[in-house]
Amino acid sequence: MNKEKLRLDKYLWSIRMFKTRSQAAEACEKGKVKYNGSAAKPAKTVSVDDEYEIKTEGKKWLIKVVALLHNRVQYSEAINYYMDITPAEEIERIKFQAAAFHTGKRMSKVGRPTKKQQRDLDGFMSSE
């Protein structure tokens, strides 16, 4: 079963980094997948112990290939085929962003003024 060649786009799709293989290939072509600091092509052969930097919509990943996976499997199994070595500061940034953007509430003192603040501003502007 262990074939020696595996394309990068197929690997990224099978470990569930991207929903479709074409999205994985497109990310490679747009330079969102890097190997040793340079853009990796979708047809690049994946090897065990390779490290890839991947930018997805929500997060910037740094992964290390632990084993090759040729078929798409469920998430709980797929996570055994790579090691997430994303730096801690990137994870903290994601948590901070998530707290600010996904609460459904606006951050205090940011955005449009309240009705009271608007009246105070109007009074301030007209008094001059």
Exposure of 36 in the CB half-sphere (CA atoms within 13 A): 5
pLDDT of residue 63: 94
pLDDT of residue 1: 44
Which architecture, in CATH terms, is 8-126? Roll (3.10)
Provide the whole-model pTM.
Answer: 0.69
pLDDT of residue 93: 78
pLDDT of residue 128: 54
pLDDT of residue 27: 94
Domains in the chain: boundaries: 8-126
Q: Which residues of the chain have pLDDT under 70?
A: 1-4, 97-110, 127-128
| Distance, CA of 61 to CA of 85 (rounded, Å) | 8
Among 21, 18, 39, 19, residue whose Cα is nearest residue 29? 39
